[in-house]
Amino acid sequence: MPFRWYGAMIHAVGRDTFKRLFSTPRQERFFVSYHPLRIFSGSAHKELALEIADTLGVELGQSTTRRLPDSEIHVMIDEVVRDQDIFLVQSCCQPVNDHVMELMLYLDAFRRASAHSVSVVVPYFPYARQERMAHGRESVSARVIANMLEMMGAHRVIFVDIHARAIQGFFNIPVDPLSALPILADYFRQPEWENAAIVSPDVGRASLAGRYAQLLNLPLVVMHKRRTSVSVTETTHVVGEIAGIRPIIIDDIMAGGSVLKQIDALYEAGAEGTAAFAVTHPVLLPSALEHLESDDRIGKLVVSNTLPVPPEKRSDKVVVLSIAPMLADIINRIHQGRSISKKLILM
């Protein structure tokens, strides 16, 4: 680098920042972006976007989503975003298809408004359970979503605890697979959970459960289940010692609540005390809420706020933990060009 460039850098970023930049290890260095950081949100989960913006100390960008009488969606960016680094927060909750379409329209709007880059923060990735063909003549819907995001101009995709980790391979742009595992696990670092075991509801979640068990230094139990239909499963085996132990069942998504019914097998195997569930994405359909409230063996359902949890889905049993500080840290690191490798939990 020519010597005169150093003087220009010192003038641009300040002497203290310049010294700090070159006195840290190369992998920890970051550069000041000349493109302002902006946080925008769709209509799906504006509360999470506001919390992220507050944590970063920036204003939430102004935009408007309107639903027209014929059910079409119209989006408008209400301020100049030319040459800015945009992080668009849109968790694709119910109604899923409306929020997916809204996301695509915002990507188009930002591209036409000459934003420097648009990174999509999708805490709850839509169609993640349709990542392969289980039968002939089926759509691989998760791949369709990935193609749409790329074609509409997303520069980067950030998601949390995606149901099928292989989906990140559907993209040809940078993908950051985050996890709420450390946040949910911290809740159980209390004396009352010392005599507990981490329970995986099926073999597919065993690696996630293993990370919970490692973080909390608790034993691991794995349940084997067989799916008898699209919405019905039955537990066939419980592998591991659960007798006399309090179960903590982990999962990535709770929708209809089939996992709630699996505790029958645990108590038949000798589990004691009230059970707890640690779930990243609280879809929480009415059937799940009904079962949660009616079963006295279930003490707590600990979830993250990747999805909005309205008052009608809350109760004394439901504990909601925020992922906004984690997302704000990741966004800040990406914008500053700093490594996020140590923040990723790859399984």
Which of 225, 280, 226, 270 has its CA nearest to residue 247? 270
Only one residue has tokens 């709770």, namely 254
Residue from 19, 225, 261, 300 carrying the catalytic annotation: 225
Query: Half-sphere exposure of 176 toward its Cβ, with a 13 Å CA cutoff?
Result: 23
- Coil, strand, or helix at residue 126? coil
CB 263 within 8 A of CB 298: yes
- In 113-261, which residue ranges form alpha helices assigned H by DSSP? 141-151, 181-187, 206-216
Residue 290 DSSP label = H
225 is catalytic: yes
Distance CA(85)–CA(95), nearest Å, equals: 28
Sheet of 85-89, strands arranged across: 37-41, 85-89, 117-122, 156-160, 175-178
Residue written as token pair 């990140």: 168
Which residues are marked as active site?
225
